[in-house]
Amino acid sequence: MRWWLRRPRVIIPVAVAALVLVATGVRYLLDDGMSGPSGPFPRPVATQAPAGVPQLVATTPEGPGRMQIYGGVAINGALKFFGGRGDAVRAVGIATGRTYWKYKQKHAQPIGLDRTTGDVYVDGRHDLVKINVRTGRIRWSRPTPGYFPNEHAIVSGTGTLVIFDDYGSGGDMTGIDPVTGRTRWTSAHSCDKVKRTTVVVGGTLAMACGLADDVVRGVDLATGKQRWQQEQSSDFSVLDDGQGHVAVSAKDGFDLLDPATGKVLRHHLTKGEVTVAFSDGMRLSACALGKSRGMCGSDADTGERLWSSAFPGHPAGYVPGDPGNRAYATVADGRVYSLSAIDTPQREVDQIVVFDLRTGRRLADWSLDGLTMSQVPLTIADGVLAVHKDDVAGAVGLYADRPDLHRTRHLFFQ
């Protein structure tokens, strides 16, 4: 007789234990880690950013992280009210509302996207995970020393990924190999507060530091060492002028800096203007036009004004161009998308205004429901304009030129 038939008292407990281990393992796999992908990867919702008044294709909760759009999916974390954080990140089809994949991890949230490789970076509170959006494959996972704030914890530069932990006094920044996830260097950023405007130009990470020390700092991406520092007045931002310079925008002017040395190459006075974006040799600014407000386009090199166009209606409250937040206007597909507050007989509301980049001709405008005062109110990717609302639910409206979609999808990330 075979031995296992003679020893049931041994075999049965072992079998039961094996079943428990298998069940526990299956439950663990279901409760944590990657699920999916499911079905083919969703195609982009539109071929270009909206040219006229678009459809509201979908709405999403703001979520605890930075919602990303790649192809036909929106990537976000589970919504938790009152400052809480979710336990999963999902890639959800914008046009279908179906979950393409879900990565489950406690406190998970998306904090950045590398469009050249199609990888999303997910913060798990004490882990940074790199996931390919199309395949759902986890590229790498590495421990991190601290908490990433939602506004801007990650900067993708040429060959180096920079993450910031603890955006407060004395926080550190770490340079990482984006392919392997290994640490290249660690350095204190020495900013009392790092503003949202952080750009990479010519191998230099330019940071706008505020509050106690209003300075722009240039950091070598290869080593993490500071290259230069320039003092500024309050209310300023840093931008990439698209021509190899760091642009520092303030209330009444802007400077173009050499990214390697920080030397001021050109200074332009712009009374009544605030530079908000650069694109294709053009400088876009929020400007005063008599009693009206609007957008102005100027030559990025000479400063010569090429066009000006007023906002429709009666602008009220704030105008785009807060020097500390350039996201009130963004550019895509030869068009400028700007946010403006207007007075109506009932209340003050926000409107989106679209201008032609080369001529300033107003192409479209439409009013939103209420006000949009989010830190990053306007973003555009893969034909979708995302308008971030700052209300209790933190809703994000996704707009696109899709007249065939007659019903607005409500995307959930729970």
Cis peptide before 323 (omega within 30 of 0): no
Find the length of the chain: 414
Whether the per-residue pLDDT at 295 is higher than 60: the answer is yes
The strand pairing partners of 201, in sequence order, are 204
Residues 6 or more apart whose Cβ sits within 8 Å of residue 341:
315, 316, 317, 318, 319, 348, 349, 350, 351, 371
Rounded to an integer, the average pLDDT of 179-200 is 77
Proportion of the chain above pLDDT 90, given as a percent: 30
361 alpha carbon, distance to own chain's centre: 28
CB 108 within 8 A of CB 34: no
User: What pLDDT, in 10s, does the model give residues 228-257?
Assistant: 988 877 677 888 888 899 988 877 778 899
User: What pLDDT, in 10s, does the model give residues 98-113?
Assistant: 999 999 887 788 888 8
Q: Which of 78-82, 87-91, 274-278, 301-305 has the lowest mean pLDDT?
A: 78-82
Higher pLDDT, 366 or 63: 366
SS3 letters for 350-376? EEEEEEECCCCCEEEEEECCCCCCCCC
Helix (H) or strand (E) holding 165: strand 161-165
Confidence of residue 1 (pLDDT cuts 50, 70, 90): very low
CA 184/CA 221 separation, integer angstroms: 10
Q: Mean pLDDT across the chain, nearest whole number?
A: 78
Rounded to an integer, the average pLDDT of 118-126 is 85
Confidence of residue 370 (pLDDT cuts 50, 70, 90): low
Looking at residue 329, its pLDDT comes to: 84
Looking at residue 84, its pLDDT comes to: 45
Rounded to an integer, the average pLDDT of 250-277 is 85
Looking at residue 379, its pLDDT comes to: 86
* pTM for this predicted structure: 0.82
Looking at residue 414, its pLDDT comes to: 58
Higher pLDDT, 26 or 352: 352
Rounded to an integer, the average pLDDT of 122-137 is 88
Whether the per-residue pLDDT at 287 is higher than 50: the answer is yes
CB 19 within 8 A of CB 26: no
